[in-house]
Amino acid sequence: MVSGLFVSFEGIDRAGKTTQAGLLADALGDLAVRVREPGGTPVGERIRALLKDPSTDLGDRAEALLFATARAEVVDRVIAPALADGRVVVCDRFLDSSLAYQGAGRGLGVEAVGAVGRFATAGLEPDLTFLLALPPNAAAGRSGVSDRFEDEGVALQRRVLEAYERLAAAEPARWRRVDAERTAEVVHAEVMSIVEEAIASASAKAPA
């Protein structure tokens, strides 16, 4: 494969993104570069710890800018070089998370957060984005350690999911909506077949 492929997973908290990103990266082996957001770089991981910590007291715009800062780092230092190297980047969240959580969830506006986000990413977008669709009530019943975002309750998750649905509907060529209420294995099989098709079509388009 000559050209890289950028795949992201999106969804509310506990929708199964981390599990699916892991299963996909494992299935792709050396071809894959796995990244999580926020994180993926030394500075990004420190920003992640700050943003998830329930004791962090932070204004909404500052929160959005910290996500953007972590994202700029991971784009420049990890994602862009991996794509240039022809790898498949498997990203656990990307800019769409900021559009959904900060833009819609916090009410900062999808347009405003998108403008900051495009500066941070230098315009880089995923080729393929999976929306792991799970009702907030079902997500709340799944086990895990809650963070600053989940501590805010189901209303935030509901606004976030609605925003994701609007983003997916507006850009159907990039988004694939996947029913995440099924088992991880069944979801992974669907994800895998879509990614294999995308890899084949990216390879077919790449210059010989």
Residue numbers 84-123 binding ligand TMP by CB under 6 A: 93, 97-98, 101-102
Contact 47, 70 (CB under 8 A): yes
Give the bridge partners for 198, in sequence order.
none
127 counts as binding ligand TMP under rule CB under 6 A: no
Give the closest residue to 96 by CA, choosing from 176, 31, 196: 176
CB atoms within 10 A of CB 44: 23
Smallest separation, CB 94 to ligand TMP (Å): 7
Closer Cβ to ligand TMP, 87 or 106, answer by number: 106
73 is a site residue for ligand TMP (CB under 6 A): no
Which CB, 10 or 202, lies closer to ligand TMP?
10
> Does residue 13 touch ligand TMP according to CB under 6 A?
yes
- Name 128's bridge partners: 7
- d(CA 198, CA 208) in angstroms, rounded, equals 18
Q: Is 190 in the site for ligand TMP (CB under 6 A)?
A: no
Helix (H, G, I), strand (E, B) or coil at 157: helix
Tell me which of 6, 9, 67, 130 binds ligand TMP, using CB under 6 A.
Answer: 67
Residue 38 sits in the site that holds ligand TMP (CB under 6 A): yes
Question: Which one, 120 or 191, has the nearer CB to ligand TMP?
Answer: 120
The dihedrals phi and psi of 47, each to the nearest 5 degrees, come to -65, -40
Using the minimum distance from each CB to ligand TMP, give the nearer residue, 101 or 175: 101
Determine the Cα–Cα distance for residues 61 and 19; give it in Å rounded to an integer.
30
Q: Does 9 bind ligand TMP (CB under 6 A)?
A: no
> How far apart are the C-alpha atoms of 112 and 130, rounded to whole Å?
23
In the bound state with ligand TMP, the residue whose beta carbon lies nearer, of 13 and 127, is 13
Q: Which of 176, 180, 179 is nearest to 196 (CA)?
A: 176
Which residue stretch of 35-43, 81-89, 128-136, 195-203 sits at the interface with ligand TMP (rule: CB under 6 A)?
A: 35-43
Smallest distance from ligand TMP to CB 36, Å: 6
CA distances from 1 to 4, 32, 84, 110, 175 (A): 7, 12, 11, 35, 22
Binding site for ligand TMP (CB under 6 A): 13, 36-38, 52, 67, 93, 97-98, 101-102, 147, 149
